[in-house]
Chains A and B, each alone.
Chain A
């Protein structure tokens, strides 16, 4: 089928009904920064293009219950909101350039493979949940359980992403990434931490790393080593050495796996030192 249909709609119900009709043969497009390239550069010819642009999902709600962000909220819109978790704001600021900030959406960022996916890295450290909807139903999937493999998601063929919820915002969070140039270039590696301290000890901790694998992952071995501990440089260093445990990054055309792994350690260490109030490297 060569030509395909282009759909725009104002109501979520229309979106999910179309997604149900076309299933995997539909290409869902929000900002289009990655999805359009599937068509223009990779020859994808979906049976239907579902453009989410007119859906009322470009919103941010901050309540006592936490933060809810509509799936098609642009980076530009995110940056205009006050009191968002620091890690998310820092990740959003790192999306380079004005046009990208207008086009890129938080929802699209969650699906995008490395080197994209900075917002996903931040959200993973904030224990975000995804609200997925379909005709006649909805379900919540923690982002931590969303990535099943490279470009493979815990998602049904008839579902679309509706919103992202951060129900318990950690008191401390930060995001850092390394790009080839100070103000531009694809992410070589990104890291984010979400943390709560209780009596100076780590009560809640999430460390996420992006750029080494197709989608960001949680550095659970390092997290376990730091849970319940009073953070010192030595204790952080020991855990940071294990931040790439369990994953197999690969060399790409520019950077070796060894280099990227080293960068991941450096970024996580910098964040943890900063959040723990230590004068670190």
Chain B
């Protein structure tokens, strides 16, 4: 039996030496000679048409080098998920026609120091003709609501091959659909029907380190992007597409990140800094304030989930109908993927033979949402577990018993058609109960995931 020197032994996280001595390098520590600073002019309204952007006064302020607008962006599409086949891309890097959320960047000021850049943003005059915003998901789904997407709806179209999950040529729907068995039959056979409605508000990641990025054009035409990111390849591929550069000419450097939690997965602003750097041909830095983090950066989406369960006389869930609304905010970004993920988890770890789940990726004039810690699953787990409690309470069964009876077991088929071969939820519940000092009755302890 070999003796391992590392495996199975407690190890010190070597990063900690830098952390406790203050020598870990974060992006804010990165600086180059001649480096310039960015501050943004942001939309003061949630929805409107841009009539005029007057930068004359701002340009005359000593220290201002350039004001970057839409026309400076070679390929003005914030491509994000389009690089993995989810689309269509619906967000500009910098808008030239309309703004769709309060705080959306309209143009960037590049100046010799942060203070001057900030002052210049106050001198830029933007005229926006306000349009009625859509600020609530249920309102967004009403036929009478203003439509904020160019395809004249407030929902993402699933099913026709551009959602990363379905093959092309299929029927497009305003929701992602998971259907299995026959829910209507299940509901007819049910002894109890239990309904629940659950709402998770948007939650801000609030990492202690705000977004910060430095882009440096190199002498050989390459670009180095220093950014606090969780997804360097997203950054690289997005910037490459936007600047019409081959990805091989872009290097993304991400040393220590001061917390991300999903908030630094979407390349929110690196491409803007890259456009600025390439335009002024100098290193450019942008660091966000805490106010920008809270009001503009992506959040966990607001999600509303309505569940109806059809339950048999002996406490088995015969069928489940669910309607899920996911607030993508003004632009798609990763939300279609989040909705798909959420829908696949609407059964929880339970065996429900008949399901019909509809997941809507809803657009509103709010800050775009994104991933956070268990994207798409967190909200659903919350709803599903509360629903299970409600189910148990309604039919008068112990909540443990209800879960044990309905937990999926090996060789069952999940709602998405997968053969379950690694079920462990029953064993997990037994261990959790034991650790919590709860004595489960014998007939539950004798159950297992094997059948």
- Once bound together, how far apart are the Cα atoms of A43 and B291, in whole Å? 14
Residues in chain B near residue A43, CB distance under 8 A: 118
Q: How many residues on the B side are at the interface (Cβ–Cβ under 8 A)?
A: 3
- Once bound together, how far apart are the Cα atoms of A41 and B290, in whole Å? 10
Residues in chain A near residue B118, CB distance under 8 A: 43
- Chain B: minimal CB distance from A49 (Å): 16
- Chain A: minimal CB distance from B139 (Å): 22
Identify the closest chain A residue to B115 (Cβ). Answer: A2
- Once bound together, how far apart are the Cα atoms of A41 and B289, in whole Å? 9
Chain A residues numbered 39-69 whose CB sits less than 8 Å from any CB in chain B? 41, 43
- Once bound together, how far apart are the Cα atoms of A43 and B118, in whole Å? 10
- Once bound together, how far apart are the Cα atoms of A100 and B113, in whole Å? 30
- Chain B: minimal CB distance from A255 (Å): 16
- Once bound together, how far apart are the Cα atoms of A43 and B289, in whole Å? 13
- Once bound together, how far apart are the Cα atoms of A41 and B292, in whole Å? 12
- Chain A: minimal CB distance from B414 (Å): 41
Chain A residues numbered 1-50 whose CB sits less than 8 Å from any CB in chain B? 41, 43
- Once bound together, how far apart are the Cα atoms of A178 and B289, in whole Å? 28
Residues in chain B near residue A41, CB distance under 8 A: 289, 291
Identify the closest chain A residue to B291 (Cβ). Answer: A41
Residues in chain A near residue B289, CB distance under 8 A: 41
- Chain B: minimal CB distance from A41 (Å): 8
Identify the closest chain B residue to A2 (Cβ). Answer: B119
- Chain A: minimal CB distance from B69 (Å): 24
- Chain A: minimal CB distance from B100 (Å): 23
Chain B residues numbered 290-310 whose CB sits less than 8 Å from any CB in chain A? 291
- Chain A: minimal CB distance from B424 (Å): 36
Residues in chain A near residue B291, CB distance under 8 A: 41
Identify the closest chain A residue to B289 (Cβ). Answer: A41
- Once bound together, how far apart are the Cα atoms of A41 and B294, in whole Å? 14
- Chain B: minimal CB distance from A48 (Å): 19
Identify the closest chain B residue to A40 (Cβ). Answer: B289
- Chain A: minimal CB distance from B28 (Å): 16
- Chain B: minimal CB distance from A2 (Å): 9
- Once bound together, how far apart are the Cα atoms of A267 and B102, in whole Å? 39
- Once bound together, how far apart are the Cα atoms of A263 and B410, in whole Å? 53
- Chain A: minimal CB distance from B57 (Å): 16
- Once bound together, how far apart are the Cα atoms of A41 and B118, in whole Å? 11
- Chain B: minimal CB distance from A23 (Å): 25
- Once bound together, how far apart are the Cα atoms of A66 and B28, in whole Å? 51
Identify the closest chain A residue to B122 (Cβ). Answer: A43
- Once bound together, how far apart are the Cα atoms of A41 and B291, in whole Å? 9
- Chain B: minimal CB distance from A197 (Å): 48
- Once bound together, how far apart are the Cα atoms of A43 and B122, in whole Å? 11
- Chain A: minimal CB distance from B206 (Å): 14
- Once bound together, how far apart are the Cα atoms of A99 and B64, in whole Å? 37
Chain B residues numbered 269-298 whose CB sits less than 8 Å from any CB in chain A? 289, 291
- Once bound together, how far apart are the Cα atoms of A110 and B118, in whole Å? 31
Identify the closest chain A residue to B290 (Cβ). Answer: A41
- Chain A: minimal CB distance from B319 (Å): 41
- Chain B: minimal CB distance from A1 (Å): 13
- Chain B: minimal CB distance from A3 (Å): 11
- Chain A: minimal CB distance from B92 (Å): 29
Chain B residues numbered 96-143 whose CB sits less than 8 Å from any CB in chain A? 118
B 144-163 to A, binary, CB cutoff 8 A, 1 in contact else 0: 00000000000000000000
- Once bound together, how far apart are the Cα atoms of A123 and B291, in whole Å? 33
- Chain A: minimal CB distance from B292 (Å): 12
- Chain A: minimal CB distance from B400 (Å): 32
- Chain B: minimal CB distance from A98 (Å): 18
A 245-260 to B, binary, CB cutoff 8 A, 1 in contact else 0: 0000000000000000
- Chain A: minimal CB distance from B52 (Å): 25
- Chain A: minimal CB distance from B208 (Å): 15
- Once bound together, how far apart are the Cα atoms of A43 and B39, in whole Å? 14
Q: Which residues of A contact B (CB under 8 A)?
A: 41, 43
3 A–B contacts from the bound complex (CB under 8 Å) = A41-B289, A41-B291, A43-B118
Q: Which residues of B contact A (CB under 8 A)?
A: 118, 289, 291
Closest 3 CB pairs of A and B: A41-B291, A41-B289, A43-B118
